[in-house]
Amino acid sequence: MRSEIRLDEIHDRAVIIAPGRSQRPHDFHREAVAEPTLKASCVFCPENLRGVKSLTRVGSARHWRVNVIRNIFPVVSPKNPKAYGYQEVVVDTPEHNVEMSELPVSHVADILGVYGTRSRALMKDPKIGYILIFKNRGGRAGASIAHSHSQIFASEFIPPHINSKLVRAQAYRITHGISYYQHLIQLERGGPRWITETKDFVAFTPYASSYNYEAWIMPKRQIDNIALLGRAERMQMARLLQRLLARVSTLELPYNLYLHQNVRDRREHLYLRMAPRRDVWAGLELGSRLIVNTIAPEAAAKFYRTRS
């Protein structure tokens, strides 16, 4: 396959799909990115969380399955008018060496439920306009602690690209008479980038993928907030997420998971973006904002459709 420039006009992204580039020679070995250190004194293990205030938990105080605590190194704070917001840590499991991909589907559904519970609580603050839920797995993906966890970032400030995306999506709806994301589901269904679907969710690799093996999980109905998902929907979403994570784990790649929530605009369409971190962005990507992806999304979708 020859290189191809692809545009995502709604998200204002341009990528170069260049499968052959991964074969280029290297005079330098890529530096190993330090993985988070395993420590007996892990701050997220249950014995070290005794006495730490829990914001939300699944299970009892002594036998919890998911636990939410305040981030003690936040970049935003309700006490800082120049960077107002909240930052929380979701400890995915009490078990130190268990990855999210190894948890039962019901447990992952509980984590998704906690995301909704905390989103609902944070939205009660009228100053909060934006919530980002994200997970960093592996040193190259930004994790500093090995114990499986995710984070919730709630801010008064809404990133400009989030508002710009909504403006372009609304213009698309006016022009085409259908939501961009619902139209996207129709266009992708059964095609080369389609992975699978359940009664209420779909999974596919986006046409202009920025990351190797990037995949999206999206509800079929238009909802703007994860707090609106019912238990059955969370189970479906968890089942799809587990399937994708199980495949990525065979590649031993670090990854990021994230979903955006513009809490003051109900036109948003929720979706979870999975971004495995195989390649390093260098001068071309940083200078031009043209992202080079060496795994075509069509090849990535075929990989996901193949069960391990």
CA geometry: angle at 258 spanning 271 and 121, to 5°?
A: 85
Using CA atoms, how far apart are residues 2 and 20, in angstroms rounded to an integer? 7
DSSP assigned state of 120:
H
What is the pTM for the complete model shown? Answer: 0.91
Strand, coil or helix: what is 132?
A: strand
By three-state DSSP, how is residue 64 classified? strand
Q: Which pLDDT score is estimated for 248?
A: 93
> Can you tell me the distance from the alpha carbon of 128 to that of 264, in angstroms, rounded to the nearest whole number?
8
Which residues neighbour 215 within 8 Å (Cβ) at sequence distance 6 or greater? 195, 203, 204, 205, 244, 273, 274, 300, 301, 304
CA-derived radius of gyration, the chain: 20
The pLDDT tens digits along the chain (308 residues) read 789 999 999 999 999 999 975 544 434 344 444 455 556 679 999 999 988 999 999 999 889 999 999 999 999 999 999 999 999 999 999 999 899 999 999 999 999 999 999 999 999 999 999 999 999 998 777 777 889 999 999 999 999 999 999 999 999 999 999 999 999 999 999 999 999 999 999 999 999 999 999 999 999 999 999 999 999 999 999 999 999 999 999 998 999 999 999 988 888 899 999 999 987 778 878 888 899 999 999 999 999 998 75
Count of Cβ atoms closer than 10 Å to residue 97 Cβ: 11
Residue 83: the pLDDT is 98
Alpha-carbon gap, residue 210 to 204, rounded angstroms: 14
Which residues, including other chains, have CB under 8 Å from residue 207's CB and lie 6 or more apart?
6, 8, 188, 193, 297
CB atoms within 10 A of CB 248: 22
pLDDT for res 24: 44
Q: Which CATH architecture has domain 41-305?
A: 2-Layer Sandwich (3.30)
Alpha helix ranges (H) inside 177-270: 180-188, 231-249
